Structure 1
C-alpha cells in the first residue's frame, strides 16, 4: 500500500513538473541542488578540509579538471596553497605527504581501488584485467599469473628483442642524418647539417613495436613504415569478425583521457556523460584499442607461435587452483600490456631527451660516462654494459621523479574500521590519494631545488635511501607495476644508445615541454635536431 502511494505521488510530481516550463525549471534546479548538497552533507568529517568550493559540492569539479588535461598542475597548486590535505571531491581527499604513501598504498593496509578504476574496464568484453580489478582475492589470483611472465629469467630473454628494435630505430635516425649531410653539401637547407624530427613520434613507434614484439611475438611495423598503423578486430555476439586499421598512438591517448575523466564521475552519472560528444568520440577509441588486443590474441589462438613472449606465458600460466586464463581474460591482460608497455616508455624516454637537452651539464656528463663505458660496444649496448653506470642511473631516476609519467594520485578506499592518516581520521568508505607529481617535488625530501631537474642529487651519499620514501614512479605495495624491471631495462639501453650515438638539440630550446594528462602525463611534441657523434 505504501509503495503504491509512493508511486502515485511520484507520478503526480512528474506530471506537475512537466506541466509548465517554470515547474520544469524549478524541478531541474532542485535536482541539481539536492545532488550536490547530499554528498556534502553525508561527509561531515571532510567539511573543514580545504579546497575549491566546487570540489566540496560535486564530483563534477574533478571531472572538469581531468578533462582539461592539467589535473596534476591544478592539484599541485592547491597543495601549495592549502597544505597537506586538499579536498578534490565530496568524498575524496588528496594527501601530499610522503609518510602517507605506505598507509594508502602499502601491503597489509587493506585499502581498495575505488570506483575510478571501473571506467577502465572495456565495454566489450567487460572483463577485468590486473590493472582494473578491484576485488582483492581476484587481484591476488591475477597478479600471481601475470607476475610469472615477468620473472628474472623472462626479463633476460626479452633483451635481444628490445635491442633489435632499438637498432632499427637508430638505423632510421642514421638514414635521416645521412640525408641531412647530403643536403647540407648542396646548400644550407638543414640548419647546421642536422636531421630534424619529432622525437615523440619516433619513440612512440619504437615503444609500440617493442611491446608488440615482447607481448605478441611480432612488432607492429611502425619503425619500418615510419607510420602509425595497427590492425583492429571487432567481434559481435556470434563471433563474427570485422577487421580494420587505426592510428594506435592517437587512440591510446584518447582512451586514457576518456577513462581518467569518466572515472572521476559518480557511477550513476557515467552513462549520461558517455553520450556527450567529448566522451563518445573517445569511447570509440576505447573500443578500437580493445580491438587491437583482440586481433593479436585471435592471431595467436588461431596460428600459435614458437616464441616465449608475454602472451605465450599468460596462456600457459595457472593460478593456485590450476586454472588458466580464458580468452577474454587474455584480451584484457594483452590490453594492459599494450598500454603499459608502450605509453609509459615513449613518454618517459621523450621527457628524458628533452630534459637532458635543457641541462647541458647533465648531457655532457652522461655522454662522457657512455663514451668511456661503451668504447668497444656494438651500436646498441647490452644491458650488462649499462645497468650499473652511476650517472645513467641518476638520469633515469631524476627523469622519473621530475617528469612523473603517472602524475595523479591513484584513489583508494579506506577499509572497514577507518584509518588515521597523518593525524587525520578518515572513516571507512572515504577515498584518499597521494599525488605523485607533488610528492616528487617535496622540498622536505628533495631539497630547495626540488622544482629543478638535477640528476646529480642522486649521486650524493645516502641520497637513494633518503629519497626512497618519496619516489613512486611505479607505485608501491600490492598494486605496484609488475613490469618495472622490464621498463628499466628498456629505458637504460635505449637512452644509452641514443645519447651515446647522437648529438641532440631542441628545435625550440626556450619552449617548455608541453604535456597533457589522461591517465598518464605525456608530452605532446618534442622536435629535435640530431647529428652522428660516432
Structure 2
C-alpha cells in the first residue's frame, strides 16, 4: 500500500510539474501562437522537434510538417517555422535586431566562437577580426594549400581506380569518406598549418588532447564531428536537459558529449602544435599565410590580440565549417550530377567535360581556380546540387527582440517568439521552383530563367549578417574538387537515392560509385 501511495504521489507530482512546465505556458505565455497549425506535441514543448533531431531527420520532419500544415507551422512551444523565401528577410536581414536562440549554446565548447556567440556586439567584434582572414587577397593565397592536398587526393583515387571490378570497367568506391578526407585535410592545412593526414592514411583519424597533461591520442575526427552535431542539435532544443544529459541511459547522449570534448581536443592539439612551431621561428618570411596566422596577427579595436582560448574556439569553428559542409556538399554534388546524367543520358556529363577539357590543360593533374572559377556550366551544376541537397538544411532559430514584435503577413509575433526559415523546405518548394523541383535541372540557373522569388530563396550559405564568412573559400574548394575529379575520372552511379542524416548540417550517409581514369 505504501508503495502504491508512493507511486501515486510521484504520478501526481509528474502531472503537476507537466501542467506548470508545458500546459500553463501554452495557455498564458504563448497563447498568441495557438492558432498557428503544427504537430500537437509541438504546441507544448520542443520535444517533437528534438526527437526528429535525435533521429538525425529534423529537416525531414519539418519539411513534412510544412507539406501537411502549410507555409507557417508551429514546430515548438514558442518556435514558428516560415517556409517562404520572403521569410528570409524578416528573420535574418541586417538591422532586425533578432538574437540567436539559446539553441546555439549547446554548440559552445570552451569559449563562444563567431558561429555560436549570441551577443550582437561580441559577434560584430569577432566577425570584424575573422573577416580579414577571408578577404579576397587572403582567399587567393589559400589555393596553394588546397592544391597540395588535391594532388595527394588524386594520387589515392588513381590507385583505387586501378583495381577494376569483375566487369573490368570501374572500381567500386564510396565517395563520402574520400570527400571527408580531402575536406578535413584542406581545412587542417588552412586553419592549423598542416593537414590531418586523412588522405595519405585513407582513414578517419586525428590527434586529440583533452587536458594539457593528458597524452595525445588518436580519434576519429569525422565521426566525432558527426556525433557532436547530432547531440548538440538535440540538446540545443532541450536546454533544461543539458545538465543531466550525460546520466541518461541512451548512449547517444554520453557518446555525443564525449565527442564534443574530443572535437575541442582535436582543435587544441592542432592550434598548440602550430603556435609552438611559429614561436620557434623568428623570421616573419617563414610564416605561412593561412587562416590561423591571420587570426594570430589580427587585433581588435583596442589593439589587443585574440587570446589563446578564443583562438582555439575560432579554429574549431573553421574546422567544423570547413570540413563538414564542404565534404557533405562535394559528395552531394557528385551524386546529383551523376543522377542527372542517369535521368537524361548524354545531356549532363558530356557538356561539362567539354567545358572542363577546354579550360584545363591536358597534362594537368588538378584544376587551378583561375581556370574554373568562371565556368558557367560548372557553376550551374554546383548551385543546382546545393539546392537539392541543402547541407545547411535546418531553419536557423532567431528570437524576436523588438518590443512591439515583428509582423509577417497578417501575423504579429511578439518578443520571445523563435522564428526560423528551413532552407531544405524552401529549396524544395514546388510553388517557388516549379513542378520539376525534385529534378536536377541546372538550366534553371541560366541568366533570365530565375524568378525574383528563386533568387531570394537560394541561401546555401545562410542570409544576412550571420551568413557564412568563409563562403568564398568554400566555393573555391568545391570548384577545385569537383572540376578535378570529373575531368580526371569516369564515374558511374551505383545507388538510387542519396540518404542523409542531420546534425547541424545534413550529411550523405554513403555514395557508391564506379571510378576509372579517363582515357
- What is the TM-score when the length of structure 2 is the normalising length? 0.94
Give secondary structure in 2 for the equivalent of 1:192.
coil
Task: Give me the whole-angstrom Cα distance separating, in 2, the residues matched to 1:192 and 1:39.
Answer: 65
Q: Which residue, 5, 19, 28 being the options, matches 1:33?
A: 19
Pairing 1:13-92 to 2, within 5 Å after superposition: 20-41=6-27, 42-92=29-79
Give secondary structure in 2 for the equivalent of 1:87.
strand
Mapped pair 1:300 → 2:274: yes
Q: Is the 8 A contact 2:337 2:385 kept in 1?
A: no
Task: Give me the whole-angstrom Cα distance separating, in 1, the residues matched to 2:321 and 2:44.
Answer: 34
Aligned to 1:243: 216
Mapped pair 1:521 → 2:495: no
Q: Is the 8 A contact 1:401 1:440 kept in 2?
A: yes
Q: Which residue, 220, 237, 245 being the options, matches 1:273?
A: 245
Aligned to 1:171: 155
Q: Is the 8 A contact 2:406 2:412 kept in 1?
A: yes
Q: Is the 8 A contact 1:416 1:429 kept in 2?
A: no
Pairing 1:138-149 to 2, within 5 Å after superposition: 138-149=122-133
Aligned to 2:302: 321
Cα displacement string for residues 139-192 of structure 1 (whole angstroms, at most 9, x for unaligned residues)? 000000111100111100001111221121111111122343xxxxxxxx5333
Task: Give me the whole-angstrom Cα distance separating, in 2, the residues matched to 1:137 and 1:28.
Answer: 41
Aligned to 2:391: 405
Report the Cα offset of residue 338 of structure 1.
0.5
Task: Give me the whole-angstrom Cα distance separating, in 1, the residues matched to 2:390 and 2:244.
Answer: 32
Bigger Cα displacement from structure 2, 35-44 vs 349-358: 35-44
Mapped pair 1:129 → 2:113: yes
Q: Which residue, 440, 464, 474 being the options, matches 2:427?
A: 440
Task: Give me the whole-angstrom Cα distance separating, in 2, the residues matched to 1:135 and 1:259.
Answer: 19
Pairing 1:387-402 to 2, within 5 Å after superposition: 387-402=373-388
Aligned to 2:184: 208
Aligned CA distance change for structure 1 residues 272 and 381 (closer, same or farther; 3 Å): same
Q: Which residue, 229, 237, 251 being the options, matches 2:205?
A: 229
Task: Give me the whole-angstrom Cα distance separating, in 1, the residues matched to 2:361 and 2:298.
Answer: 42
Aligned to 1:366: 352
Aligned CA distance change for structure 1 residues 152 and 18 (closer, same or farther; 3 Å): farther
Give secondary structure in 1 for the equivalent of 2:322.
helix
Task: Give me the whole-angstrom Cα distance separating, in 1, the residues matched to 2:334 and 2:417.
Answer: 40
Task: Give me the whole-angstrom Cα distance separating, in 2, the residues matched to 1:497 and 1:460.
Answer: 26
Task: Give me the whole-angstrom Cα distance separating, in 2, the residues matched to 1:269 and 1:343.
Answer: 26
Task: Give me the whole-angstrom Cα distance separating, in 1, the residues matched to 2:290 and 2:357.
Answer: 33
Aligned to 1:13: none
Aligned to 1:10: none
Aligned CA distance change for structure 1 residues 464 and 199 (closer, same or farther; 3 Å): farther
Cα displacement string for residues 422-463 of structure 1 (whole angstroms, at most 9, x for unaligned residues)? 321000111000000011122333222122221111115252
Aligned to 2:515: 530
Mapped pair 1:497 → 2:484: yes
Aligned to 1:3: none
Q: Is the 8 A contact 1:52 1:87 kept in 2?
A: yes
Count matched residues: 502
Aligned to 1:152: 136
Task: Give me the whole-angstrom Cα distance separating, in 2, the residues matched to 1:84 and 1:17.
Answer: 50
Aligned to 1:427: 414
Aligned CA distance change for structure 1 residues 364 and 422 (closer, same or farther; 3 Å): farther
Aligned to 2:457: 470
Report the Cα offset of residue 369 of structure 1.
1.7
Report the Cα offset of residue 376 of structure 1.
4.4
Aligned to 1:257: 230
Task: Give me the whole-angstrom Cα distance separating, in 1, the residues matched to 2:180 and 2:451.
Answer: 30
Higher Cα Rg, which structure: 1
Report the Cα offset of residue 19 of structure 1.
6.7
Cα displacement string for residues 175-213 of structure 1 (whole angstroms, at most 9, x for unaligned residues)? 122343xxxxxxxx5333311111111111111111111
Task: Give me the whole-angstrom Cα distance separating, in 2, the residues matched to 1:264 and 1:443.
Answer: 29
Task: Give me the whole-angstrom Cα distance separating, in 1, the residues matched to 2:300 and 2:388.
Answer: 38
Aligned to 1:193: 169
- What is the TM-score when the length of structure 1 is the normalising length? 0.91
Report the Cα offset of residue 120 of structure 1.
0.4
Q: Is the 8 A contact 1:18 1:24 kept in 2?
A: no
Task: Give me the whole-angstrom Cα distance separating, in 2, the residues matched to 1:377 and 1:449.
Answer: 39
Task: Give me the whole-angstrom Cα distance separating, in 2, the residues matched to 1:323 and 1:377.
Answer: 48
Report the Cα offset of residue 363 of structure 1.
2.2
Report the Cα offset of residue 272 of structure 1.
2.4
Root-mean-square deviation (Å): 1.7
Report the Cα offset of residue 18 of structure 1.
11
Structure 2's unaligned 5+ residue stretches are 282-286, 342-346
Q: Is the 8 A contact 2:235 2:241 kept in 1?
A: no
Task: Give me the whole-angstrom Cα distance separating, in 2, the residues matched to 1:293 and 1:217.
Answer: 12
